[in-house]
Each structure stands twice: as C-alpha cells, then as structure tokens.
Structure 1
Amino acid sequence: MNKEKLTFEQIANMDLPNIILYAAPIMIGLVGLEWYLSYRQKKDFYDSKDTIAATVIGLINVGMSAGIKVITFGIILFFYNLVPWTIPMTWWSFVLCLFWLDFWRYWAHRVAHENRFWWATHVTHHNSEKYNWSVSFRLSWTQHIKIIFFIPVALAGFHPVVFFIVHQLAVLYQFWIHTEYINKLPRPIEYFFTTPSHHRVHHATNEKYLDKNYGSTFIIWDRMFGTFQPEEERPNYGLTKQVKSYNPITLNFHEWSDIVRDVRNSRSLKEAYAMVFTRPSELEAKKKEFEASYEKAKVKVNG
C-alpha cells in the first residue's frame, strides 16, 4: 500500500497545540502549593535553592525544546515517510501509540541508567536529594539526542501528529509521580501504571532500589523485564556520589566533564571506550581493573 508522503508545510498548517506550554502554569502552581504545605507541615520535602535550580533548568529546557522542535519533528517525519504503510489517525491509534511509545521510553530510560554516555543525558534528573514536583522540571539540556530511541514509533506508521501529541502527554504524566504526598494507590493501579510509589524507588540510592522501575507511564515493562521493585523501606534520594551544587550548568554537565577527564587520563583506546560506555554503577570497579592490569604489566616489564 502506497501512502502520500507528508511535508513540513502540511504539519505546520495543522496548528498543533503545545500542551506542555499550556500545562506549565498549572504545574508551577502545584509546585508552589506542595512547597507551601511542606513548609506548614514542617516536612523536609523542599530546599529553596534546589527548587530554584530545578525551575531554571526546566524553563531553559522548554525553550530548547521549542527551538529544536523542527529538527526533532523532522527526524520523526523523515522515518514516517520511509515506510509505505500508515496507521489511521483515530482514537485507538492514540492509545496504541501510547503503549508503543512507552515501551521505547522504558528502554531509553533503562539504557540511560546502564550506559555512561546516555547516563550523562539523564543524570540531571537524579542529582537532587529531595523528591517533589519540582524535580520533574530537572530534565537535562542534552536529553534531546534520545529522540533516536523513538524512531521505531515512526517506523510503525503512527502519524507524526499522533506521536507529537502522545509524546507530550507521556512527558506530562511524569509530573504527578514526583511527590512524597501520594502514598500507594489501589492494587490494580499499582500493578499496571507507574505511580509515585514506584518512581520514589527509581530515584532512591538505597542499594535494593538501584536501577529499578524504569517505566514511564506503565510499570508493566518492569514486571516483564525483571526490573520491578516495590517500595518497602523509605528511599534516600540523589546520586550514590552526590554532586553538591545548585548551579544549573554544573548540574547539567558534571558527568560530561567527568567523562572527558577520564578519557583524557586513559592509557589505551580500550580504557577510553570503557570510560564512555561502562555501566555507571560499575565504573569504579572498571577503573580499578584497568589500574591493576597496568601495574601487572609494569611488574612484568621490570621483572
């Protein structure tokens, strides 16, 4: 079946809504309310400097997203036009796209925790020791390169407009799960959807919680692929090696800076490669492994 290829002009003429932009004032208002309740109830859920940093990061990210929208949307449009089939733009295509997109969001998220290069595009979201609605604003300024993980959505034949709307809804879903005020929900919801309880585990540094619960909208992927962990003990938030800074530039680029330093200090291409792509949780062990091999080689030469 041949389909008519779409052009930028056709998409532009549709006047697509920027749902996230419309929702921003509501989200900021809810952050203010949660902050106020935390203060009144003497709960240690907020840190003023941390929240200001998160808000600055979020606002700049919104601006960057708008600035490169043509590029990101163009990538999706290009791959959509490559395939000869299309999925009709009906109500059920939005539902189907949400599941297919969320499947790839799970893998993009998982890779971002299990590969240092991609971790550098995501670590900003985790370098707060607090857990509240403002944390949802902390999205890395380099995260946009993860658009490549969503190419399968376009190749499946979903209309770019469907992708555009569903992707925004999926991003918005992340807002409400970043709170300590919502406890565990009824079992059917907890079993199928990602909830605040699940995502608190994901942001925790407790050993049993590390690298768990990657699901964005649906937690079923974690149950299927063995990365699910229920919330049991109270989570501790942040990074295992915490960055003590409120500077948005530092919070966005500290891991990239560390990668560059480690590559420069590498004594072989193999080590340089490992410094970029090793699993973050295994990085220190990998460094010790290389150091031990160099010492062994030195002893052998001097032997």
Structure 2
Amino acid sequence: MFDDFNELLGAPKIDYLDVTSLESESANLIVYAIPVMAILTLIEIWYSWKEGKKSYNTTEALGSLFVGLGNVAINLFFKATLIYGSIFLYNLVPWRMMLNWWTLIPCLILYDFCSYWSHRISHFNRFFWSTHVVHHSAESYNLTVSFRLSWIQHFKTIFFIPIAIVGFHPVIFFIANQISVLFQFWQHTDHVPKLHPWIEKLLVTPSNHRVHHGSEEKYIDKNFSAIFIFWDKLFGTYQPEEERPTYGLTTKINTSMNPLYLNFHEYKDIYADVKQAKGIRRKLFFMFGSPGAIYRDKIKEKKLKE
C-alpha cells in the first residue's frame, strides 16, 4: 500500500519543452461543450418566449454574449501563462503526483473548496469584487449570465495555488477547472424548479444559485459554492430559496451591451470614491473594503446630508 502511495507521489518534473504535449493531454472540454450550451440557450429563449416569461432582456443578453466572447479571446491569451505557471509550481514541490485519473476526484473537491473562498472573498473585498461585479449586474436570470464573466478574473488564480502545492498534476488541475466551469452553466436559469431534497442538499442547483444572485437582504452574500453546496453549510453562508429573487445589484447600473462598460464601470466608481475620500484610511476603505459596508456607508452619508 505504502509503495503504491510513494509511487503516486514520485512523479518526475515536467520539462517546459513538453508544454505542447501537456496541452494535448488537457482535453478542452469547454470547446466541445460550446455547441451544447448554444443549443440549450436557444431552447431556453424559445421556452421563455412560448411561456410568456420575461427571462430575457435583449440588450442585456447581447451584453453577456459580447462579454463571453471577449473572455474566450483573453483565455486563449492567458492559457500559456497559466500552463507555465502550473508547471513551475508543480516542479517546485517534492511530492508531485503522477498523471493518474482517479486523482481527479480529490482534486475536484479541493478545487471546489478553493473556488468557494475565491468567490466569497470576491464579495467582501472591493478590489476582487471589481473582477466579479459584471456577473451580478444582470437583472434577468438566464443561461447567458453564465457567459458574463470578468475579463480580469485571472487575478483570482492566486486562490487556487494550494492545488498545485498539494502536488496535483497540471492536466488534472485544468480538467477540474473545466468541470467546475461547465457545471455552473446550468445553474443560471429561472426555469428549473427545486430538485429532490437530496440533490439540493449536496449540489449547487439552479435554486441554490438563484439565491446567490438575489438582491434581497437575506439573499445577499449567500451560497458561494460552485459544485458542492455543503461548503456554504459548513461555513455558515447557506440560504435556501424561499421566494424567487429580484436579480441584479443593489446599486443599479445602466443596462448595456457594451462589454467595456460592463467590465470596467466599477473601476470608475472606485476612482470617484477614492478621489472624494479624506485621509488614507478612507481611501483604502473605498479600495479594499467590503462592497456591502461601502454601500451602507454611502447610505449613512446621504442621510446625514439630508
């Protein structure tokens, strides 16, 4: 048994010249899934129209699509950087795991744990919130919202460094990443009701994730998990869906199809807040404070001026 364990952790270092073969071994699941996602989105649009449900705002949906297309281009640009970075970290530790497919299971669980904290911190630190706010700015909840991801979200890669330090092979890491991204696609719909209680207790379902996108007080900053909902239950951030949420931000922005505006409007707001703030402490608060605390602070200031 221990010999098998030692063999698992005795993988050789990866030569940087082997990047091409590494890319070919990392099956591009997302590319294969694009036609399926496109068909499911068209079915949802048709169903929404047929049932007379207002699940789609044309301008907003186009904005989500343009943001998603930009993301594809940026991901292609950063792919090599991420691969070389993962090889560097993998080679750095002495307990490297072999490319063994069963290691995908523990890797996926650890990836989901890191994803929970990456997501949670993105809601409690304005710097990281600025890399996530685009996803929450949609006021209609549909499958196109899953394409609405920040162009600068790669800052949050730092939260996944523990996966490399544990020694998981880069190929396993990239497959776990793709599984997580694809699993979150189906969560963004208003048309799937609550599922069997066992499923709702284990996985992040559309019902669980609708809560996360809600702007009601009891729904704000809840249900951060990506695949397994038990992280929220473990860390006290779980909230079941009680009534259908009102989607979007507490501070509304213009409905726009302009991907530049959708991605960077928060930085304009940060600049304005920092500029008017007095003292370094207040300036840092507006840069790195909790978005919720900043929102309440502005409400308080507004009331004092009235």
If the length of structure 2 is used for normalisation, what is the TM-score? 0.91
The counterpart of 1:159, out of the listed 147, 154, 169, is 169
Q: How does 1:61-80 map to 2 (within 5 A)?
A: 61-80=71-90
Say if 2:67 and 2:147, in contact at 8 Å, map to a contact too. Answer: yes
Say if 1:11 and 1:161, in contact at 8 Å, map to a contact too. Answer: no
Distance 1:239 1:58 in 2: 20
Q: Give deviations 1:67-122, integer Å, cap 9, x for gaps.
A: 11111222222211111002233232001100000000000000001111100000
1:248 to 2:256 alignment = no
- SS of 1:218's equivalent? coil
The counterpart of 1:174, out of the listed 165, 169, 184, is 184
Corresponding letter in the other structure for 1:216 = A
Match of 2:276 in 1: 265
Percentage of identical aligned residues: 44
1:8 to 2:16 alignment = yes
1:82 to 2:92 alignment = yes
RMSD: 2.0
Say if 1:136 and 1:178, in contact at 8 Å, map to a contact too. Answer: yes
Say if 1:115 and 1:279, in contact at 8 Å, map to a contact too. Answer: yes
Match of 2:59 in 1: 49
The counterpart of 1:281, out of the listed 292, 299, 304, is 292
- SS of 2:184's equivalent? helix
CA distance 1:131–1:289, shift in 2 (3 Å): closer
If the length of structure 1 is used for normalisation, what is the TM-score? 0.92
Match of 2:219 in 1: 209
- SS of 1:43's equivalent? coil
Distance 1:97 1:3 in 2: 16
Q: Please, which runs of 5 or more residues in structure 1 have no aligned partner?
A: 296-303
Match of 1:222 in 2: 232
Distance 1:83 1:186 in 2: 43
Distance 1:70 1:189 in 2: 37
- SS of 1:175's equivalent? coil
Say if 2:67 and 2:259, in contact at 8 Å, map to a contact too. Answer: yes
- SS of 1:271's equivalent? helix
Greater mean alpha carbon deviation, residues 124-133 or residues 261-270: 261-270
Say if 1:113 and 1:211, in contact at 8 Å, map to a contact too. Answer: yes
- SS of 1:184's equivalent? coil
Count of residues in correspondence between the two structures: 294
1:17 to 2:27 alignment = yes
Distance 2:219 2:105 in 1: 30
Distance 2:69 2:264 in 1: 17
- Residue 284 of structure 1 deviates from its aligned partner by 3.4
The counterpart of 1:232, out of the listed 242, 256, 266, is 242
1:40 to 2:31 alignment = no
Distance 2:67 2:205 in 1: 24
CA distance 1:74–1:291, shift in 2 (3 Å): farther
Match of 2:145 in 1: 135
Distance 2:114 2:300 in 1: 33
- Residue 290 of structure 1 deviates from its aligned partner by 8.6
Distance 2:33 2:283 in 1: 43
Q: Give deviations 1:132-187, integer Å, cap 9, x for gaps.
A: 11110000111111111110000010000100111011111110111111111111
- Residue 49 of structure 1 deviates from its aligned partner by 1.2
- Residue 257 of structure 1 deviates from its aligned partner by 1.2
Corresponding letter in the other structure for 1:44 = K
Greater mean alpha carbon deviation, residues 117-126 or residues 277-286: 277-286
- Residue 17 of structure 1 deviates from its aligned partner by 2.5
Corresponding letter in the other structure for 1:149 = F
- Residue 48 of structure 1 deviates from its aligned partner by 1.1
